[in-house]
Amino acid sequence: MQRNTLIFCSTLALPLYIYTQTVQALEWPTVKAKQIGAHTYVIEHGPHDEDAKVSHGFHNNPGFVVTQDGVVVIDTGSSYEIGKMIVNRIKGVTDKPISHIFTTHVHGDHWLANQALLEAFPQAQTIAHANLIALLNNGEDKFWLDTFSKRLGDDFAGTKAVIPTQAAEAKTYVIGGINLQVLLFDKAHTVTDLMVHVVDDGVLFTGDIVNNEHCSFMGHGNFKGALAATEQALALKPKHVVVGHGHSGKIELIQSFNAFYSTLRTEVGKYYEEGLADYEMKPLVVAAMSQFKHWHNFDTQIGPYISQIVLELEQEAFQ
């Protein structure tokens, strides 16, 4: 009898332990809304580690701007649960409604949390690059749902694709008295990128065109375009920069990515001209990129980056 009781307790204790762990993690106790401008906040910062067991899918930098009339959100996150956290953090700062949501690009970790924000504020306008709206409405939404469902498991429960509806324009939106300058890029980190410059606060949201010592997947993008996008971003001379991944900071973050894209293209271009194949030039390029070797994902991404730039150079030769 005693033994049976012990077995019963231990089998009961295990699910309880798991349940408690999961709930604690999804309360996001360490994630705060940090003010970085007179009106601008970042919910910082998802950890670099993209391992879902560590991050529960939160590894980007959702931001928001409190205007006279409402709250403008720039990027949400990977899941419904993360969206609920974002709504909660915004409510901790202001009781104004969410009026607009800008999405910086098509990758699912930047918009799959939209659902929770729209549930709480159904009137919010959702704005993104026209290419993003077209891609997701043509079926790419299912790719992102599948990808993040596999990656996040139970943490993705209940998540639905809520696709932005308004095509962004390259202009300055005046929302609740705040000037938000939108820059559009057809070929940069992806074919769907935009940056949001909160002119009044001197804060620039770069999306994944710029990260903080973090190499993103560039398979949907173009290095020449990404380099040009960093030039445009530098010309704005922002006081604070919210990057796609990693901690936000100053203009040096854009300078570092400008140097990264520029050095990489120059080095690959040099060896391409000499007739080397991508695998032959890799150790030489890596040696020339030593100042970036410590960046997150450098070791896994540098090979694909070199191969992609070789393809881009071949395409450029025919243009």
**Contact residues for Zn ion (CB under 5 A)?**
107, 208
Nearer to Zn ion, 144 or 271 (CB): 144
- 152 vs 281 by CB, closer to Zn ion: 152
The distance of closest approach from Cβ of residue 44 to Zn ion in the complex, given in angstroms and rounded to an integer, is 17
In whole angstroms, how close is the CB of 132 to Zn ion at the nearest point? 11
Q: How far is the CB of 108 from Zn ion (least distance, A)?
A: 9
Other beta carbons within 10 Å of 259? 15
For Zn ion, the closer CB: 33 or 132: 132
Nearest to Zn ion of 208, 278 (CB atom): 208
In whole angstroms, the minimum distance from the beta carbon of 261 to Zn ion comes to 15
Torsion, Cα of 289, 295, 298, 299 (10° steps): 100
Q: What is the dihedral of CA 248, 251, 257, 258, to 10 degrees?
A: 160
Gap between the Cα atoms of 254 and 62, Å rounded:
18
105-127 b/e (C-beta count within 10 Å ≥ 16 → b): bbbbbbbbbbbbbbebbeebebb
User: How far is 163 from 128, CA to CA, in rounded Å?
Assistant: 9
Closest to Zn ion by CB, 25 vs 145, is 145
Long-range contact pairs involving 249-253 (C-beta distance under 8 Å, separation at least 24): 249/212, 253/206, 253/210, 253/211, 253/212
| Complex with Zn ion: residue 61 or 256, whichever CB lies closer | 61
Beta bridge pairs of residue 35? 41
Residue 297 C-beta: closest distance to Zn ion, Å: 12
The torsion angles phi and psi of 94, rounded to 5 degrees, stand at -150, 155
Q: Minimum CB separation from Zn ion for residue 216, in Å? A: 5
Q: How far is the CB of 120 from Zn ion (least distance, A)?
A: 25
| Nearest to Zn ion of 243, 302 (CB atom) | 243
Nearest to 104 by CA among 247, 180, 188, 207: 207
Helix (H, G, I), strand (E, B) or coil at 180: strand
Sequence-ordered strand ranges (E) for 59-171: 63-66, 71-74, 98-102, 125-128, 166-167
